[in-house]
Amino acid sequence: MYQAPRGTSDILPPEQRYWSYIKQTAAAICELYGYQRIDTPTFEDAHLFVRSIGEDTDIVEKEMYSFEDKGGDQITLRPEGTAPVCRAYVEHGMHNLPQPVRLYYMAAIFRYERPQAGRYREHHQFGVEALGDADPALDAEVIGIAWQLYVNLGLKRLALSLNSIGCSDCRPRYLESLKTYYTQHKDSLCPDCKRRLAKNTLRLLDCKNPACLAPTEQAPRSIDYLCPECADHFDQLKSYLNLLNLPFSLSHRLVRGLDYYTRTVFEIAPEGETGSQVAIGGGGRYDNLIEQLGGKPTPAVGFATGIERLVLNLKKQDVVVPALPPPTVFVAYLGKEARDEAMKLTSHLRKSRISAIASLSERSLKAQLKQANVSGARYAIIIGDDEVKSKTVVLRNMAKGEQQTVPIDKVAETFR
Ligand code: HAM
């Protein structure tokens, strides 16, 4: 027996209403904020991700699905959505458009992780990227989109954590101080952190290993090392968030798992929950990434949210999600002539944009009405010999059990 690969899932019909609820809510918010949809390929040149996400990150070190294709190219299945959007921005000369360019995506993401609840090897993200402006008002806008998404979905008790990790001017001084601090505590660090101490010190703040949590509590804070420009940017962002009534708390441990961030970083998680798979969304600024990928210097900010984690939280919080519309009509028949009429009528209904399922094969009326019930159809149409002769159908309201006779050529009209 074949099974879906470990860490992947089938999204079966009963689950689909969560997915369409989330996607529709997200698309409606993007429309409100003037963000346009972009779709990028499922796979890209492997170097794009190594360059963007950073060689010393978990994603690049351990989690990428990479392979050489038959033409000898190094390919990676998209492990995140920001780098491909930046690649597309540069490739299509989007710097010529009015800035910022506001884009959103919904895409499958692949990471070879240890699967557990809320953490999968294939997951899906909704994300937004606003490219071409450094104004902290744009950071506030992106955070506002995230927050409005969660509120509109009906999620409650969420917490927004915020930090600023500075820019290429002020970060080196901070990293020096962080390195000195962690070197003093090297013996108590986990093996990964010991190794990363020299090359990617910032990552240590993010380590979830219990051994590293205690030293990190007392570690130097990036906000104490910001240059005047970054400090001003962060102060403005905080005042905009207050202005927009977006509640946040500062978290000096928040650095995020990707190397491209500058200045603002943020994450949203259910209140009081900690751990590596609880964040439902996160993002930040990445002012150097587009230039690193060969574009002009272009400041940008974005965020992404995991759709599976949203589904988990909607269920956990018992949010009532609208059901997908059932078919309007189930067409039942008795006898061969009635069957031909049923086929013609079903086809006519669909052309008239009335959703219809036709009964198949010879079954008793009782069995067919049972099927109609299971299908969720609001009406059943019944055609028997008498109806064929009189060119009518019996139209039954399934919930009320009421029936009426309607001329067969007036059925679509009756529904409209
Ligand atoms: P990320 O924090 O790596 O950020 O992922 C965003 C969200 O995707 C997470 O908050 C989480 O909800 C979900 N997620 C991540 N990994 C998994 C997984 N293995 N299984 C299930 N859900 C997962 C990014 O990817 C950045 N590109 C976000 C961004 C956009 N930054 C700027 N613009």
Residues 142 and 74 both lie in one domain = yes
What six digits make up the tokens of 130? Answer: 């606003």
Among residues 324, 304, 314, the alpha carbon closest in space to that of 123 is found at 304
At residue 277, the pLDDT reads 74
Ligand 1 mean position, distance from CA 226 (Å): 26
Measured distance CA(109)–CA(123) in Å, rounded: 5
Which domain-ending residue is among 286, 316, 346? 316
Ligand 1 mean position, distance from CA 104 (Å): 14
At residue 132, the pLDDT reads 98
Among residues 164, 126, 118, the alpha carbon closest in space to that of 146 is found at 126
Segment (H or E) for 414: helix 411-415
Quick check: is 194 in a domain? no
Which domain-ending residue is among 290, 316, 342? 316
Quick check: is 409 in a domain? yes
Taking the CB of residue 322, how many other CB atoms lie within 10 A of it? 9
Residues 54 and 162 both lie in one domain = yes
Using a cut of 0.85, tell me whether the model's pTM lies above it.
Answer: yes
Ligand 1 mean position, distance from CA 125 (Å): 7
Query: pLDDT, tens digit, for every residue of 342-351?
Result: 999 999 999 9
Residues 289 and 408 both lie in one domain = no
At residue 203, the pLDDT reads 86
CB 243 within 8 A of CB 141: no
Ligand 1 mean position, distance from CA 283 (Å): 8
Residue nearest to atom 23 of ligand 1 (CA): 306
Helix (H) and strand (E) counts for the chain? Answer: 16, 16
- Closest ligand 1 atom to Cα of 121: 19
More confident of the two residues 211 and 95? 95
At residue 352, the pLDDT reads 96
Buried/exposed code over 327-355 (b: 16+ C-beta within 10 A; e: otherwise): bebbbbbbeeebbebbeebbeebeeeebe
Range list of β-strands (E), 365-413: 379-383, 392-397, 403-407
Residues 165 and 272 both lie in one domain = yes
**Which residues span the domain enclosing 49?**
13-170+226-316
Quick check: is 160 in a domain? yes
State how far the alpha carbon of 284 is from the alpha carbons of 100, 138, 141, 243, 357, in Å: 15, 11, 12, 19, 48
- Closest ligand 1 atom to Cα of 257: 3
CB 336 within 8 A of CB 314: no
Averaged pLDDT, 330-341: 94
- What CATH number is associated with residue 379? 3.40.50.800
Ligand 1 mean position, distance from CA 276 (Å): 11
Query: pLDDT, tens digit, for every residue of 268-322?
Result: 999 987 666 789 999 999 999 999 999 999 999 999 999 999 999 999 999 999 9
**In DSSP terms, which residues pair with 407 in a beta bridge?**
392
Residues 261 and 339 both lie in one domain = no
Collapsed DSSP state (helix, strand, coil) of residue 156: coil
- Cis before 84? omega within 30: no
Taking the CB of residue 152, how many other CB atoms lie within 10 A of it? 13
Q: What's the number of domains the chain is made of?
A: 2
Mutation test residue for ligand 1: of 143, 165, 267, 309, the one with most atoms within 8 Å of CB: 309
Ligand 1 mean position, distance from CA 109 (Å): 9
Which domain-ending residue is among 316, 340, 375? 316
Q: With the C-alpha atoms ordered 327, 331, 332, 336, is the resulting torsion angle positive or negative?
A: negative
Q: What does the H/E/C string look like for 322-377?
A: CCCCCCCEEEEECCHHHHHHHHHHHHHHHHCCCCEEECCCCCCHHHHHHHHHHHCC
**Averaged pLDDT score across all residues of the chain:** 95
Let me know how long the chain is.
416
Quick check: is 109 in a domain? yes
Quick check: is 188 in a domain? no
Pocket of ligand 1 (CB under 6 A): 80-82, 111, 113, 118-120, 123, 125, 127, 129, 257-258, 279-284, 302-306, 308-309
Residues 379 and 258 both lie in one domain = no
How many CA atoms does the CB half-sphere of 185 hold within 13 Å?
A: 22
Averaged pLDDT, 168-179: 95
Measured distance CA(96)–CA(34) in Å, rounded: 18
At residue 275, the pLDDT reads 67
Residues 231 and 108 both lie in one domain = yes
Query: pLDDT, tens digit, for every residue of 214-266?
Result: 899 899 999 999 999 999 999 999 999 999 999 999 999 999 989 999 999 99
At residue 287, the pLDDT reads 98
For the chain, percent of residues with pLDDT exceeding 70: 99
Segment (H or E) for 267: strand 262-270
Quick check: is 244 in a domain? yes
How many CA atoms does the CB half-sphere of 357 hold within 13 Å?
A: 18
